[in-house]
Chains A and B, each alone.
Chain A
Amino acid sequence: MRVLATLLNEWRLFRRDLAGMVLLFLMPLGLTVVMALIQDAPFREYRDYVFDVLWVDNDGGPMAAKLHDALSSGQFRLIDTVSGRRLDSTALRNLVQTGDYKMGIVIPAGISAEVVNSANQVANEMSKSTGAVGKLPARDTRSLTIAMYFDPVSKQAMKLSLLNAIDKQLTRTQAEMILGRLSDKLASLDSTQQTRFNLQEKLQAVGVREYSTGNAKAAQLNTNSVQHNVPAWAIFGLFFIIIPIAGNMIREREEGSLMRIRLIPGSYYSIITGKLLFYVLLGIGQFYTMLLAGRLLMPLLGLPALYMGHAPLALLVTVTMIALTATAYGLLVGALFQTPNQALPFGALSIVILSAIGGIWVPVEILPAGLQQLAKVSPLYWGLDAINNLFLRSGGFATVWKPLLILLGYTLVFVALSGWIEQSRRR
Chain B
Amino acid sequence: MLLIHDVHKTYRQAVEPTLQGLSLQFPRHCIAGLLGPNGAGKTTTISIICGLVNADGGQVEVLGLDTATQLAQIKQKIGVVPQSIALYPTLSAQENLEYIGKLYRLPNKILREKISHYLQLFGLEKNAHKAIRHYSGGMRRRANIIASLLHDPELLILDEPTAGVDVQSRNMILEFLRDYHRQGHSILYTSHLLEEAQQLCEEVAIIDHGRLLVQGNPAALMQLHQCLSLEQVFLHVTGRGVRD
- Contact of B102 with A13 in the complex, beta carbons under 8 Å: no
- Contact of A265 with B91 in the complex, beta carbons under 8 Å: no
Q: Which residue of A has the minimal Cβ distance to B79?
A: A263
Interface string of B86-121 (1 = CB under 8 A from A): 111111000100011011110000000000000000
- Contact of B90 with A13 in the complex, beta carbons under 8 Å: yes
> For A8, what are the chain B residues with a Cβ–Cβ distance below 8 Å?
99
Q: Does A9 contact B (CB under 8 A)?
A: yes
Q: Tell me how many residues of A have a C-beta within 8 Å of chain B.
A: 24
Q: Does A99 contact B (CB under 8 A)?
A: no
Chain B nearest CB from A16 CB (Å) reads: 4
From known contacts A259-B52, A264-B75, A426-B54, infer whether A1 and B86 are also in contact, taking CB-CB under 8 Å.
Answer: no
Chain B nearest CB from A422 CB (Å) reads: 12
Majority secondary structure, A binding face: helix
- Contact of B105 with A1 in the complex, beta carbons under 8 Å: yes
- Counting chain A CB atoms within 10 Å of each CB, which of B72, B103, B147 scores highest? B103
Chain B nearest CB from A402 CB (Å) reads: 39
Q: Does B84 contact A (CB under 8 A)?
A: yes
A261 to B148, CA, bound (A): 11
- Contact of B52 with A426 in the complex, beta carbons under 8 Å: yes
> For B102, what are the chain A residues with a Cβ–Cβ distance below 8 Å?
1-2, 5
Contact of A13 among B75, B80, B88 (CB under 8 A): B88
A257 to B95, CA, bound (A): 13
> For A271, what are the chain B residues with a Cβ–Cβ distance below 8 Å?
103
From known contacts A5-B103, A264-B103, infer whether A257 and B52 are also in contact, taking CB-CB under 8 Å.
Answer: no
- Contact of B90 with A262 in the complex, beta carbons under 8 Å: no
- Contact of A263 with B87 in the complex, beta carbons under 8 Å: no
From known contacts A260-B100, A426-B53, A426-B54, infer whether A2 and B105 are also in contact, taking CB-CB under 8 Å.
Answer: yes
From known contacts A12-B91, A12-B95, infer whether A256 and B86 are also in contact, taking CB-CB under 8 Å.
Answer: yes
- Contact of B80 with A263 in the complex, beta carbons under 8 Å: yes
Contact of B84 among A255, A263, A427 (CB under 8 A): A255
Q: Does A137 contact B (CB under 8 A)?
A: no
Q: Does A17 contact B (CB under 8 A)?
A: yes
A265 to B131, CA, bound (A): 26
Which residues in window 38-72 of B have CB below 8 A to A? 50-54, 71-72
Q: Does B223 contact A (CB under 8 A)?
A: no
Q: Does B123 contact A (CB under 8 A)?
A: no
Interface string of A280-317 (1 = CB under 8 A from B): 00000000000000000000000000000000000000
A5 to B102, CA, bound (A): 6
Q: Does A368 contact B (CB under 8 A)?
A: no
Q: Which residue of A has the minimal Cβ distance to B107?
A: A1
A264 to B76, CA, bound (A): 7
- Contact of B91 with A255 in the complex, beta carbons under 8 Å: no
Q: Does B82 contact A (CB under 8 A)?
A: yes
Q: Give 15 A-B contacts (CB < 8 Å), ordered by A residue.
A: A1-B105, A5-B102, A9-B88, A12-B99, A13-B88, A13-B90, A16-B131, A255-B87, A260-B86, A263-B80, A263-B148, A264-B100, A265-B71, A265-B104, A426-B53
Residues of B participating in the A interface, judged by any CB pair closer than 8 Å: 12, 50-54, 71-73, 75-76, 80, 82, 84-91, 95, 99-100, 102-105, 131, 147-148
